[in-house]
């Protein structure tokens, strides 16, 4: 296909496609003339992936190129591809975190996060930024004096484990490397706001079921009743 058709297929404007070509994010097409080239399905997948990483995930051009280069270097290792999309460095994906002991200087939140990971028997690498996010949340809960510690998050962790199983199963059918990466972005990034939205909808429904009929309640959350 010509560059104009590539733009129509992906929703990316031609000047932006040419910019990605100049920056090395998108490989050159097969030259057909001095100033013309043909592009294939690999370009469609890669361009959609570029658009998602930059537009949805908010990465810079340089960071996006680094991820794409890392994905290409991993060839057929789907575990590595998924990890790269999640923000895990390829060199740390296969390393299990230390959960038996921790240095005294290690933040308490990170120690608790590792306890939760160990309890779930998750094979999480030290380079996964989600572990540090979890640690920050646990530390904030402790600072607030909340009665929720890492054990209190276990029911949520079990639900997350089931969601992750669905995510990974959705990726299993893809064989092409770029299609795998595109699918990884879809299930790990694009669907994330939908999962939060589903939780909010379910929370309203459960609140109505448990609290809506008590104390003269009822109605929608936040709704002001007339005296």
Q: How confident is the prediction for the chain on average, in pLDDT?
A: 81
Does 58 have pLDDT greater than 60?
Answer: yes
Comparing 227 with 69, the larger pLDDT belongs to 69
Separation between Cα atoms, residue 83 and residue 181, nearest integer Å: 10
pLDDT of residue 57: 74
Q: Is 32 helix (H, G, I), strand (E, B) or coil?
A: strand
Separation between Cα atoms, residue 74 and residue 121, nearest integer Å: 26
Give long-range contacts, CB 8 A cutoff, 24+ apart: 55-58. 56/185, 56/189, 56/190, 57/185, 57/189
- Is the Cβ–Cβ distance between 54 and 185 less than 8 Å? no
pLDDT digits over 167-221, tens only?
A: 888 777 666 777 777 777 778 777 888 899 999 999 999 999 999 865 444 556 5
Which of 117, 108, 66 shows the shortest CA–CA distance to 87?
66
When pLDDT is cut at 50, 70 and 90, the band that residue 1 belongs to is: confident
Looking only at the bridges linking them, the beta strands covering 30-33 and 36-38 are antiparallel
When pLDDT is cut at 50, 70 and 90, the band that residue 97 belongs to is: very low
Strand extents, DSSP E, the chain? 30-33, 36-38
pLDDT of residue 100: 46
Tokens of 75: 């060839």
């Amino acid at each position: 296909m010509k560059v104009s058709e590539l733009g129509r297929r992906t929703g990316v404007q031609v000047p932006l496609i040419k910019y990605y070509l100049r920056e090395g994010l998108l490989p050159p097409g097969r030259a057909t003339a001095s100033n013309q080239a043909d592009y294939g399905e690999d370009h469609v997948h890669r361009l959609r992936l570029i658009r998602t990483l930059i537009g949805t995930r908010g990465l810079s051009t340089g960071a996006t190129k680094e991820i794409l280069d890392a994905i290409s270097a991993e060839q057929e290792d789907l575990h590595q591809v998924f990890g790269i999309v999640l923000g895990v460095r390829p060199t740390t994906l296969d390393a299990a975190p230390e959960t038996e002991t921790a240095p005294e200087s290690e933040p308490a939140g990170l120690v608790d996060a590792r306890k939760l990971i160990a309890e779930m028997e998750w094979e999480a690498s030290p380079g996964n930024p989600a572990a540090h996010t979890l640690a920050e949340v646990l530390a904030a809960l402790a600072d607030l004096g909340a009665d929720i510690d890492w054990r209190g998050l276990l029911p949520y962790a079990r639900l997350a484990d089931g969601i992750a199983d669905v995510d990974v199963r959705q990726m299993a059918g893809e064989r092409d490397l770029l299609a795998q990466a595109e699918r990884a972005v879809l299930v790990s990034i694009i669907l994330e706001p939908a999962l939060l939205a589903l939780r909010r909808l379910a929370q309203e429904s459960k609140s109505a079921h448990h609290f809506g009929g008590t104390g003269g309640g009822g109605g929608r959350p936040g709704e002001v009743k007339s005296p």
